[in-house]
Every structure is written in C-alpha cells, then in structure tokens.
Amino acid sequence: MIRLKHLYHILCQTTLALAALILFAQPQITLAQETDAEQFNTVKQKLAEGRQVVGGTVTSADINIYCAMADSGFDFLWIEMQHSPLTYSEVATMIRACPGPAIPFIRVPTDSEGDIQKAVDIGALGVIVPMVDTVAKISNVIRFAKYPPIGKRSQGNGQYGALWGSNYRELANDNIMIVALIENPAGVEIVDQVAALEQVDVVFAASSDLGSFTGLRQGNPQYEALVTRIKDTTLAAGKIAAGPSAWKDTRVGYRFFQGPPDTSLIRSGVRLTLEGSADTGQPRGVAPIEGQE
C-alpha cells in the first residue's frame, strides 16, 4: 500500500513537471502569430476584402492614451510625427506597449533614409508620406522601407521581430504599406505617376492642405476637380483612394480614412459626458464600476 502511494506520488510529480516543461517551451506569441502568418497587417487584409478602414490620429506620447486608442476599435493609428514633437524613442515605447489591435502607421517627417528606416524598425506597418509632389520623394520612401530585392532597406536592429515574429524579414515587404499624401497642385499633376508605382498602396487626398495651397474650399468646383482627379486616377491604377473620416459616408470610392486626433476625441468625450449622452455600457442612471469604464 505504501509502495503504491509512493508510486502514485512519483507519477503525479512527473506529470506536473512534464506539463510545466511543455508550457514554458512554447514560443512567445506575437501579434503576427495570432493572425495570418503570411499577412499580419490586418489593414491590408481588410482592404483586400473590399472593406473600409479608419485610423485615429495620435499626437501625444502618453502611453495610456495610445493604448486606449489602439484598443478602441480603430483599424490603424495614424501616428503623427510630421506635425508633433513625438520622438522615435517615444513612439517605439508606445507601439511596444500596445501593438494592436489597431495597426501602427507613422506619418514620417521626411523621406530621408533615417526617418523611413527608424519608422519601420520600431514596428510601423504603414509609412505615410507627406507632401508628395515629386516622384523622387515617394520613390525614396519605397527604397528605404522595403528590403531587397524591392528596395534598399538595411538589416538593422529594431523591435519589429518582437512585434511581428521571427520571420519578419521574409514577410515585411508584403505587409508594410506605403501611403502617399497629395497635398498641393504639384502633387495632383503627378498623381498618375505616383499611383502607377507598384509599391504604393494608398493615395490620400489631403483635403485641408489642398485648400490651404489653392485658397479654395470643399464645394468649390476647382477644388472638387482636384479631388476628383486624385480619386479617379488612384482607382484607375487599382489602388486605394483615401481621405478624411468626414468623407467616410458622404463620398463614394474612398476606403481609407484619417480619423480625429486624440485631443479632439478627448474633448468630444468630455462634451458627451457633460451632456449625459456618453455611452457607459450601463443602463441609464447606473454608474459604471470604477476601473471598468
């Protein structure tokens, strides 16, 4: 009887040891492994399925704000590094803290090799290129965002592997998206050449800047002619037409949208709360449980 108990004890200990060994031998699960191994850019997946995507604009380095935006329902985050004081170190920390579900896209300040390679090395799966008014500018971004044989991105250090998997190098070219912003008349003049570039995925009609550079406003026939030319040329090239989120349900043909910035969303949330119309997830008159808002 004692021997049987002793044997049973040994078997139990062995089983627990094996279970622990199996558990801790499992590789770390990355966001890439939770989705398709070949296609971990869910924005690209959704667009290929014919769906619309919307991205919230991030201007703050606050990780709590970033993570709230990443988990709020946006398809991607438009991380604003052209018109904000955000640094690559800050953005790297933000992306590492919350790499999804919203996919990180970065509007880079320039088309330089340093800016582009830093953006993709810290994990951006979308590079948003401002002020595309020469073919050389968008070609530079393709060159430095894509690995050979497509581009000349160097094999540097970065956190991309921790975010997107150990086979990132082999799959990066198929997952990194290039978004070209057309912001002035010079950009409109070459939009056909931009949209024709194989590695350009999205062409964005930058409504505010088009108005700023031309002195025209939405609704003006000349303004609308510029916007229509961008959209029609983009769609004819088989690429995705993009614009501000205000166009999401009002203009046909657009499927990629820039949503409001974090500061604007906070103001909107405050107004809704003060008006008593904010959705708390609870029946009317029932306060949400603290910490579960």
pLDDT tens track for 100-119: 999 999 999 999 999 999 99
Q: What is the pLDDT of residues 236-259, one digit of tens each?
A: 999 999 999 999 999 999 999 999
- pLDDT surpassing 60 at residue 225: yes
Averaged pLDDT score across all residues of the chain: 87
Task: Tell me what pLDDT residue 23 has.
Answer: 31
In one-letter notation, the amino acid at residue 225 is A
Alpha carbon distances (Å) from 245 to 6, 146, 184: 69, 28, 20
221 residue type, one letter: P
pLDDT for 292 equals 57
| pLDDT band of 222, cuts 50, 70, 90 | very high
Q: How far apart are CA 73 and CA 75, in angstroms?
A: 6
Q: What is the pLDDT of residue 147?
A: 97
Query: Which residue did the predictor score with more confidence, 30 or 130?
Result: 130
Q: CA 259, CA 55: separation in Å to the nearest integer?
A: 5
Exposure string (b/e) for 30-67, b if CB count within 10 Å is 16 or more?
bbbeebeeeebbbbbbbbeeeeebbbbbbbbbeeebbe
Question: Which CATH number is correct for 31-275, 3.30.1330.90, 3.20.20.60, 1.10.10.10, 3.40.309.10?
Answer: 3.20.20.60
pLDDT at site 221: 96
What pLDDT digit, counting tens, does each position of 14-26 carry?
Answer: 443 433 333 333 3
- List the single range of 43-52, 89-98, 171-180, 269-278 with lowest mean pLDDT: 269-278
Tell me what the mean pLDDT of segment 186-199 comes to: 98
CA separation (Å) from 255 to 139, 140, 174, 242? Answer: 23, 25, 20, 6
d(CA 158, CA 120): 8
Q: What does the alpha-carbon distance between residue 58 and residue 82 come to, in Å, rounded to a whole number? A: 11
CA angle 278, 283, 287 (to 5 degrees): 70
Burial of 211 (0-12, 13-18, 19+ CB in 10 A): middle
State how far the Cα of 124 lies from the Cα of 99, in Å rounded to an integer: 9
How is residue 36 written in tokens?
């398709």
Tell me how many degrees the CA angle 113-115-119 measures, rounded to the nearest 5: 115
pLDDT in tens, 42-99: 999 999 999 999 999 999 999 999 999 999 999 999 999 999 999 999 999 999 999 9
